[in-house]
Amino acid sequence: MQRGDVQTGLITARRPPNDYSVIGQEIGLAQDVVDREWIIAVADYAFGGTAKKPLRGDRIVEGEEVFEIMPDDIGPAAELMSGGVEWKVRTKQVR
């Protein structure tokens, strides 16, 4: 994960069972745009050793793909799931 110039080590982020990956095209763009949800443990969402709330603009890097956290038509950029131990974050592929 990345927030500005600060990066975390490797973490485990998984897709929810109802995997909300949507592939489409934005008006005026020739490339596909991918919206994706991720589930991340609260304890793993940490920068500088301190757990943080996911913020719009934070990035998740998966191989060569980069996803930026942002709200969508479904809901907010990040929401604490029941039990308070995992975040659900909504992202859009930016690279």
The number of residues making up the chain comes to 95
Pairing verdict, β 46-47 and 22-25 = unpaired
Task: Convert the pLDDT of each residue in 45-73 to its tens digit.
Answer: 988 888 889 999 999 988 898 999 987 77
Beta bridge partners of 25: 32
Whether the Cβ atoms of residue 37 and residue 50 lie closer than 8 Å to each other? no
pLDDT tens digits along 10-59: 788 887 776 655 555 555 555 566 788 899 999 999 888 888 899 999 99
Select from 57, 51, 62, 54 the least CA-distant residue to 14.
62
Whole-structure pTM value:
0.76
Delimit the domains of the chain by residue range: 2-93
In the chain, how many H helices and how many E strands? 0, 11
For residues 69 and 9, what is the distance between their CA atoms, to the nearest angstrom? 18
